[in-house]
Amino acid sequence: MADVRITVPVLRVLQALLARPAESLYGLELMEQTGLKSGTLYPVLARLEDAGWVSSSWEDADPRDAGRPRRRYYKLTGSGQRDGAAALGEFSQVPTPAPAASSTRRPSARPAWGQA
């Protein structure tokens, strides 16, 4: 795998892109699919592009004709598909921790705020 630090946001982006590997997706689509905000999404996409996992390109549409800003589309590269799928598989194999045992601590004898 390329040197990509795998975080939860990275996994969400990879999952969204791997769900439609033949398609190019633009930022708003990815934000909707991942639940990430732009301040998290775009740095993740930049890291993935620097690592060679994602390629990007601007659409050809004229913003005046489209009535909106130009979109930048992102698509997984061959190595992004391979390494991204491996990363998702690796992290899906990690067992989730068992829920913590309930506390045996006694409730506080203090009244709640506003109660006396």
Q: Which residues pair with 90 in a beta bridge?
A: none
CA distance 47 to 73: 15
Give the per-residue pLDDT at 19: 94
Q: Is the predicted pLDDT of residue 75 greater than 90, yes or no? A: yes
Query: Phi and psi for 12 in degrees, rounded to 5?
Result: -65, -45
* pTM reported for the whole predicted model: 0.75
CATH match of 8-92 with 1.10.10.10: yes
Residue by residue, DSSP assigns 48-69 as HHHTTSEEEEE----HHHHTSP
- Give yes or no for residue 1 having a pLDDT over 50: no
More confident of the two residues 41 and 104: 41
> Can you give the residue ranges of every domain in the chain?
8-92
